[in-house]
Amino acid sequence: MPSDSDDNTATGWGQPGSTFAPPSPTPRPLEPPVTTAAPPRSTPPPFGQPATGQSPAEEARTEPTPIDTPPVELPPSFDALLDADGSVVLVLDLAGTVLSVNGAGLAVLGAKHVDEIVPGSTSYGLLRSFLDHIPRRLINDPNGGTWRGDFDHIGAAGDPIVFRATATAQPDPSRPGNGVLAIIARDVTAARLEQARLHHRATHDPLTGLANRRQVLAILEDAIQNQRGKVGHVAALFIDLDRLKYVNDALGHVIGDRLLVSTAARLAETIRPNDHVARIGGDEFLVVCSRIPDAVTALDLAERIRRALTGRLKVKELDLEFSVSIGIAMSDADVLDLSDADAASALISNADTAMYDAKNSGRGRCALFTSQMRSAARERTELAAALSHAITARELTIEYQPVFSAVSQTAVGAEALVRWQHPTLGRVDPATFVAIAEESGSIGRLGEFVLRQALADARIWRSQQQIDEDFAVHANVSHMQLASTSFVPLVLALLREHRMQPRQLVLEAREATLLGTNIDVQRTIRALRRLGVQVAVDNFGTGANSLSVLTDVGADILKLDGSLALPSGSSEADTRLVRALVLLAHALDMRVVAERVSGAEQLRRLRAAGCDYVQGNLLAAPAPFGAFDPNLSF
């Protein structure tokens, strides 16, 4: 055969309007299949149409009908070219008889040769299943045409395969009902699996396997759309782990991640079958509930989740308590007036606001969103912005409360306490604005302001010879500061700038910040103590694992919380406990400060218990720099 005949066959294959002539030793026009007197059901039905009056089992027992159109033998070079791509290549007449098939096609059909693909064979059944995905209209169109699409197929080995196919029908215009169908099908299973993996990765949280914020927003939009015009509501439950920051600070993120995974599993087990749960932030989860009749039902669901996520977790030697705060928002008329996307965002925002209300009311509880909460949240946001400005503009002030020796009764140090006089709100409670600073991320800047000002004031006292080198300034530090690699260089620079000895600085941190194995915090504490800076455990006795801090944390001073420092009404057993704690601290080379001393009898018992230092309003209330006397005694 002339070489250009092969070229014409290859380029004309699958192009509408071209003439397909399979290469053979003697080129000839394509002839229609010859029928016999066999029963009609034994003749292969036209492609794309079901076999009539015959079950698949009967078809398998039917003898094949002879067809006078022989299989096409492609030249070896052309066959190798088709197989190199790995695609399935099939050429059939319009009755469904295979004229040519390449190696990949034989593998999919479970055959070794085209002669095996005959009615009644397993390979023929697989062929029919393969061809069922090609639209019938393509074969019935007298003008032919091309179809492209993806379909799922079960291969000869029973394995699922995804094919991306191009099928071209080319009828013989001179002989109606005759012609050829050429199919090229590429296996795109791996690509489809990778696409599914990437989609899952984009819509799910990698740690817990739950839907992520992007996915749950889409779910919430659909739920709102489906709920419109129907009785009931969509409810969003915003869930926040109350103690995750404590766990991360104390034990590191590996343990924190374990708690998150455990929480996700419990949530998935607790919600209703048609509800959806997602992790939308570090310690935040969202549950979407549809067809909620009323707020009482939503509160019941939230309470059930709260109980399921409240308990104790044993990690190493620590027995951790954990709980959740849950905010609930309903798709009321105000929300449904918005578009689906805006309604979904508003519902999450409202549930988030309600969650913070629950947290600010004592944690471990549920709260239903009200319009009043939105006003409170706005005020809190405005207060956070005002605080940030106050830090930058140095509008905050420092007051000092002396720390007295329990023996000499003279001041041996002073704790720096930050104060904020808001221009319209007046004096803001420190507990309020410190909590806002922690929430908004400005706690580091606030802590640095206090440290700078306290050292600057101490330098003035020393220059005026009001204090000696044994007098120490106490400043509170946050986890954010201790976890920062820049904190130790900052402390060293400030000590040098104000010509203060490292031992004249005491950095106080809450036990939750110091407890455990947080590598960054522990590294900072060790570096500070090597410099000579003193570290104090503040508010000791308020945590669930207070005793662990005595042995796990390297500290110089232990400050007993006022609730533990033998307040009015304490028993003799309380006195023995404090005495034991003092002895233990002394054994670990730690000195003890009793906080919030407020009565003469309390002072007497604390001194008898062996406390080294005392501090409280009974002895001296905090005073601004100009009114503070470092030489005060009681």
CATH number at residue 8: 3.30.450.20
Do 517 and 590 lie in one domain? The reply is: yes
* Least reliable range by pLDDT among 113-117, 175-179, 406-410, 480-484: 175-179
Domain co-membership, 215 together with 157: no
On whether residue 556 sits in a domain, the answer given is yes
Residue type, 534: Q
Lowest-pLDDT range, 160-174, 282-296, 566-580, 594-608?
A: 566-580
| Segment holding 162, helix H or strand E | strand 160-171
208 and 188 within one domain: no
- One domain, residues 359 and 318: yes
382 within domain boundaries: no
Closest CA to 434 of 504, 487, 510, 378: 510
Q: Is the pLDDT of residue 544 over 90?
A: no
Q: How many CA atoms lie within 13 A of 42 on its CB side?
A: 12
Burial class (CB in 10 A: 0-12, 13-18, 19+), 54: middle
**Residue 530 is assigned to a structural domain of this protein:** yes
Q: What is the mean pLDDT of the chain?
A: 83
**Structure-model confidence comparison of residues 553 and 359, the more confident one:** 359
The larger pLDDT score, comparing residue 612 to residue 521, is at 612
pLDDT at 72: 47
Kindly state the average pLDDT of the residues 26-42: 34
Amino acid at 18: S
Q: Which of 439, 432, 449 is nearest to 397 (CA)?
A: 449
What pLDDT band is residue 573 in, cutting at 50, 70 and 90?
A: confident
pLDDT at 252: 74
Both 459 and 597 in one domain: the answer is yes
The 179-187 sheet, strands edge to edge: 98-101, 88-93, 179-187, 160-171, 145-154
The residue among 552 and 361 whose pLDDT is bigger is 361
pLDDT in tens, 142-153: 888 999 999 998
The residue ranking higher by pLDDT, 77 or 547, is 547
Residue 56, pLDDT score = 37
More confident residue, 625 or 516: 625
| Torsion over CA: 241, 247, 253, 254 (sign) | negative
**Percentage of the chain modeled with pLDDT above 90:** 51
pLDDT in the model for residue 43: 38
| Model confidence at 249: pLDDT above 50 | yes
What is the pLDDT averaged over residues 425-434? 92
Mean pLDDT of 395-417: 96
pLDDT confidence bin for 612, thresholds 50/70/90: very high
pLDDT at 37 > cutoff 60 = no
Residues 587 and 473 occupy one common structural domain: yes
- Assigned domain for 388 exists: no
Residue 475 in this model has a pLDDT that exceeds 90: yes
Give me the mean pLDDT over the 265-278 stretch.
94
Looking at the DSSP bridge assignments, the partners of residue 184 are: 89, 166
Query: Does residue 408 sit in the same domain as residue 519?
Result: yes
The residue out of 159, 192, 225 marking a domain boundary is 192
592: domain CATH number?
3.20.20.450
For residues 261-284, give the mean pLDDT: 93
How is residue 36 annotated by DSSP? -
pLDDT tier, 574 (very low <50, low <70, confident <90, very high otherwise): confident
Q: What is the CATH number of the domain that holds 281?
A: 3.30.70.270
Q: Which amino acid is at 310?
A: T
Note whether 222 and 258 are same-domain residues.
yes
- Please say if the pLDDT value at position 169 is more than 70: yes
Say yes or no: 183 and 210 in one domain: no
Q: What is the pLDDT of residue 300?
A: 96
Identify whether 303 is part of a domain. yes
Domain that holds residue 584: 397-413+441-627
In a domain, residue 315? The reply is: yes
Last residue of a domain, one of 192, 216, 251: 192
Following DSSP, what letter does each residue of 79-116 receive, concatenated? HHHHHHTT-EEEEEETTS-EEEE-HHHHHHHT-SSGGG
Mean pLDDT of 528-553: 79
Ordered alpha helix ranges (H), 502-560? 511-514, 519-531, 546-552
pLDDT at 548: 65
Q: How many Å apart are CA 457 and CA 464, to the nearest integer? A: 11
Residues 156, 213, single domain; the answer is no
**Residue 303: predicted pLDDT:** 96
Across the range 383-388, mean pLDDT stands at: 94
> Can you give the pLDDT at residue 176?
76
List, as one string, the DSSP characters of 174-236. TSTT-EEEEEEEEE-HHHHHHHHHHHHHHHB-TTT-SB-HHHHHHHHHHHHHHHTTSSSEEEE
State residue 243's pLDDT score.
Answer: 73
Residue 545 confidence (pLDDT): 52
Q: What is the mean pLDDT of residues 419-440?
A: 91
Number of structural domains in the chain: 3
Residue 228 burial (10 A CB sphere; 0-12, 13-18, 19+): exposed
pLDDT band at 15 (very low <50, low <70, confident <90, very high): very low
Give the residue-averaged pLDDT of 227-244: 92
Closest by Cα among 408, 478, 414, 475 to 441? 478
Question: Could you tell me the end-to-end alpha-carbon distance of the chain, in angstroms, rounded to an integer?
Answer: 119
DSSP-derived secondary structure letter, 503: G
Is 405 among the domain residues? yes
Which of 131, 547, 126, 128 lies closest to 319, judged by CA?
A: 547
Q: Is residue 561 within 8 Å of residue 580, measured between CB atoms?
A: no
C-alpha 620/C-alpha 628 separation (Å) is 10
- Which pLDDT does position 214 carry in this prediction? 93
Tell me the per-residue pLDDT of 78-121, one tens digit each, with 9 for 90 and over: 555 556 668 899 999 888 889 999 998 999 899 998 889 988 88
The mean pLDDT of 462-471, rounded to a whole number, is 93
Please say if the pLDDT value at position 57 is more than 50: no
**Rounded Cα–Cα distance for residues 151 and 135 (Å):** 12
- Domain membership of residue 377 (yes or no) is no
The whole-number average pLDDT for the span 305-329 is 82
What is the token pair recorded at 549? 């801090």
208 and 186 fall within a common domain: no
- Contact between residue 479 and residue 437 where contact means Cβ atoms under 8 Å apart: no
Q: What is the pLDDT of residues 180-210, one digit of tens each?
A: 999 999 999 999 999 889 989 999 999 999 9
Asked if 61 and 177 sit in the same domain, the reply is yes
Q: What whole-number distance in Å separates Cα of residue 461 and Cα of residue 153?
A: 85
Residue-level pLDDT at 212: 95
Q: Give residue-wise pLDDT tens across range 585-602.
A: 999 999 999 998 888 888
Question: What pLDDT score was predicted for residue 17?
Answer: 34
Is it the case that residue 297 has pLDDT exceeding 70? yes
Q: What is the pLDDT of residue 75?
A: 52
